[in-house]
A and B are shown apart, each in its own frame.
Chain A
Amino acid sequence: MSDAPSSQRITKRPGDDPLLVVENLKTHFHIDAGVVRAVDGVSFKLDRGKTLGIVGESGSGKTVLSRSVMRLNIAENVETAGSVKYDGVELLGKSNKEMRDYWGVEMAMVFQDPMTSLNPVVKVGRQLTEHVRYHLNTSKKEARLAAIELLRSVKIPEPESRFDVYPHEMSGGMRQRVCIASALACGPKMLFADEPTTALDVTVQHQILNLLQQAQQDRFMTMIMVTHDLGVVAGRTDDIAVMYAGKIVEKAPTRTLFAQMKHPYTQALLQSIPRASNPKHTRLSAISGRPPDLINPPSGCKFSPRCPYAQDKCYEVEPELKADTTPGHEFACHFPVGTPEGDAAFEANMAAGKPQTLAAAGKLAATEDLVTGGAV
């Protein structure tokens, strides 16, 4: 494999429109305590053959967003609005029965915990053959051969002999390979991977991410990769969207995002990652507090109670997602990182001793990180 992102090596077929167009998507859950605004007005387009990373803290709405696009979370208490167009066809409003023509065949999902998509009491080979037969209507024998080929394609050694083992007899990494094989079984055009490696060790994570990227390139798939770790998507995506409290707060081509990030939340996420290249005991830059209550989110910018740059205006006026100068770069912030206004805001907060600003600068006792950002 080379380091070039997939899109640079595969020439886009001219005249192709985006495979996925999401507009003002809202997914709200009605519970006793109120309305959980898990996804609250998300719009993006995804071109064929591209990989989009979706990054954010726990509870920011990454999983609900991917499940909403695939129409997987159609529960009693859910209310979805907006538009999801896949290959030109509106998916919102389609019944589960209609969606069955899409699941597996057009779009498939790999989950964080492999056991959620594997049946623990059925041997892996049979799970795969049944899956293939359900969708592709082949003979038992053909399905078996197809399943063995699939296992081989996800680099499971000696697939014939692994055919008759139960999921619990495999390691976590092997199980995730089986899930990927199953997701690839019917040749989907679009693959969602929701934290596919969060439960795995670094060495296995590296293998699985390589495998996903290889599959994406070989099959010219369009991919959405969900993670809370910017390190996981840094070298493996064309674009990254950063989510906070149910909204996209910044989106850009991957290299632009890292080189010219404008949103303080993106910067905070990046700076909180420990790096092996830093000397031991390097003070980490922490994000104070925790994500907001999605039933009663703060007024103005939802990141304001934790933002090192926040000024009076931020507590009153919610910033809109708007285009930056670099093509494809959008962000929602009144005092962007790296601009004169942003620098002045940060300086002013440092001078005033604002706790979240001190924490970001690594100058706050860690016990006070919780003080901002809402009640216990």
Chain B
Amino acid sequence: MAGSGKAHLRPESETILRVEDLHVEFPVGGGRTVYAVSGISFDIAKGETLGLVGESGCGKSTTGRAILQLPRPTRGSVKLGGEDLMAMDGEKMRQKRTDLQMIFQDPISSLNPRRMVGEVVAEPLEVWGPHDADEQWKIVSNMLDNVGIDPDVARYKRAHEFSGGQCQRISIARALVMEPELIICDEPVSALDVSVQAQILNMLEDLKAQYGLTLVFIAHDLAVVKNISDRVAVMYLGKMCELSESDELYERPAHPYTSLLLGSTPIPDPLVNIHDVPEAEGELPSPISPPSGCRFRTRCPYADEICERVEPQMRKISDDHYVACHHPLVEAEEVAVSFD
């Protein structure tokens, strides 16, 4: 099966990360295979935030981890600053990982419960230096300060003594001490209350401005992803459906799945009629035997015979807006107008 196309990739000189035709497969018992990610491509420019959105199990975390080569993808290429990470041996990759950091959904369990917060944040420095304790503390305390945690209070406390939002701040400080080129944030606010979520999103924006960070931001809530991202990639069952500049994606969703996601996002306004929004039909199919052709066809209201036979390729709709669909909604609108 062909990949989902690469029409949306920019020249390599303009980007720092370029992922091409990425496949991640997991062998599971009985000779079966989970096709978790199947031929997706994307790139990120320096200082940009790319949002990855899609429902649980669609391969967002697998994609994020594949960038870090955890585990090694089945095939495809992942290039950071022109260097092919897939071709690096274990030791070289271990060093490279300091340039790539990851922040996880569950902030409390992702911090070592036995060590003091001061040590947890210093962990990457213990491996890569500086090794001098005073110098380390200078970096660590500065970073804790940057994420709104009082370094002197936190230094000798353990993670469980902090709230979920504070632990997420601490994980962000730990990710930042190595001054990484790219941070992959895997659902960093999904477990938090709306009020704490706002604090963390604002803080990521502030840190991005201060350090020129480049981020991959993973979430299943399109409103959250849109708020923080410059561009958004919508995923479904291991494939990329649509990639667009964030405001354009909201204003002119072209893929039927994007439109479904947008419609399902709760709107805090009782005057909006939620029952106008169609419900997703059925369940996500198994990634062990994904549907032929377009993987969304079993739930798509527009699916026809070609969707079953031919996998749609990414194609351009407008500036920085690409979709992989045989019957995109934006085109459909234009057709409808010409019928009048």
Contacts and interface: CB of A to CB of B under 8 A. Distances in A.
A58, A270, A371 pick with most chain B CB within 10 angstroms: A58
B194, B195, B199, B262 pick with most chain A CB within 10 angstroms: B195
A276 interface: yes
B313 interface: no
B284 interface: yes
A271 B145 CA distance: 26
Interface in B246-304: 246-247, 250, 260-277, 279-280, 282-284
A278 to B, nearest CB: 7
Interface stretch (B61-69, B83-91, B223-231, B315-323): B223-231
A35 interface: no
Given A235-B272, A366-B205, A57 B195 contact: yes
A205 B266 contact: yes
A235 B196 CA distance: 24
Contacts of A376: 149-150, 153-154, 157, 162, 166
Contacts of A210: 274-275, 279
A110 interface: no
Nearest to A257: B270
A146 interface: no
A375 B166 CA distance: 12
Interface in A1-34: 1-3
A202, A282, A375 pick with most chain B CB within 10 angstroms: A202
Contacts of A200: 56
B265 to A, nearest CB: 5
B55 interface: yes
Contacts, number: 179
B20 to A, nearest CB: 26
Contacts of A282: 227
A369 B148 contact: yes
Interface in B51-78: 55-57
A366 B247 contact: no
Nearest to A306: B195
A215 interface: no
Given A3-B274, A367-B206, A369-B199, A202 B221 contact: yes
A155 B55 CA distance: 20
Contacts of A172: 56
B305 interface: no
A368 B199 CA distance: 9
Contacts of A231: 265-268
Interface in A183-224: 200-207, 209-210
A233 to B, nearest CB: 9
B226 A274 contact: yes
Contacts of A367: 145-148, 203, 206
A375 B161 CA distance: 12
B196, B267, B268, B283 pick with most chain A CB within 10 angstroms: B268
A232 B199 contact: no
Interface string B193-224: 11111111111011000000000000011111
Interface stretch (A65-73, A120-128, A283-291): A283-291
Given A1-B275, A234-B267, A234-B268, A366 B199 contact: yes
Query: Chain A contact residues: over half helix, strand or loop, or mixed?
Result: loop
Interface string A263-298: 000001110111111111111111100100000000
Given A258-B270, A370-B148, A3 B275 contact: yes
B110 interface: no
Contacts of B153: 375-376
B166, B199, B223 pick with most chain A CB within 10 angstroms: B199
A328 interface: no
A327 to B, nearest CB: 17
A275 B239 CA distance: 26
Nearest to B274: A235
A276 B194 contact: no
Nearest to B220: A201
Nearest to A60: B193
A228 interface: yes
B223 A275 contact: yes
B165 interface: yes
B193, B227, B270 pick with most chain A CB within 10 angstroms: B270
A174 B223 contact: no
A173 interface: yes
14 contacts: A3-B273, A205-B266, A210-B279, A231-B267, A258-B270, A272-B198, A274-B197, A275-B223, A275-B267, A278-B227, A283-B202, A290-B163, A366-B200, A370-B166
Given A3-B275, A206-B274, A283-B205, 8 more contacts: A200-B56, A204-B55, A204-B56, A230-B194, A270-B268, A280-B246, A286-B195, A367-B147
Q: Which 3 A-B pairs have the closest CB atoms?
A: A231-B266, A366-B203, A366-B202
